[in-house]
Amino acid sequence: MYKQAIIVRQDLKLPKGKMSAQVAHASVRAVLNSDKKKIQDWNEQGMAKIVLKTENEKTMLKLLQNAKDNNIKTAMITDAGKTVVTPGTKTCIAIGPDEEEKIDEITNSLKLI
């Protein structure tokens, strides 16, 4: 069973619409980085996706590195900063889709938003 996790920085306090767009960016970018067969399987399984929170940039980058060290495809979104945040702000990351167990191992201490 495949699953994707998207992890958002809480210290930025992104408003609802902005956050949704950033989460979608991360999700799509990780999908475009991934193996086609995996995406097809994930899609057929219902495209499981969870949105989680992390404290700040430092904790987010640690999770990203952890995923990379485990050979999981990732994406990180850097915002152009035209509206809500400073240009170049790293807002969120996506991890996977990949095996549920592999994703959970990295994200199991995180809480749903």
Distance in Å from the first CA to the final CA of the chain: 22
* 67 touching its own copies, by CB under 8 A: no
SS3 content of the chain, % helix, strand, coil (to 5): 40, 30, 30
Least distance in angstroms from the C-beta of 29 to its own copies: 7
* 76 touching its own copies, by CB under 8 A: no
* Identity of the residue, 82 or 101, whose beta carbon is nearer to its own copies in the bound complex: 82
Instruction: List interacting residues with its own copies (CB under 8 A).
Output: 6, 8, 16-17, 19-21, 23-29, 31-32, 39, 43, 46-47, 49-51, 80, 112-113
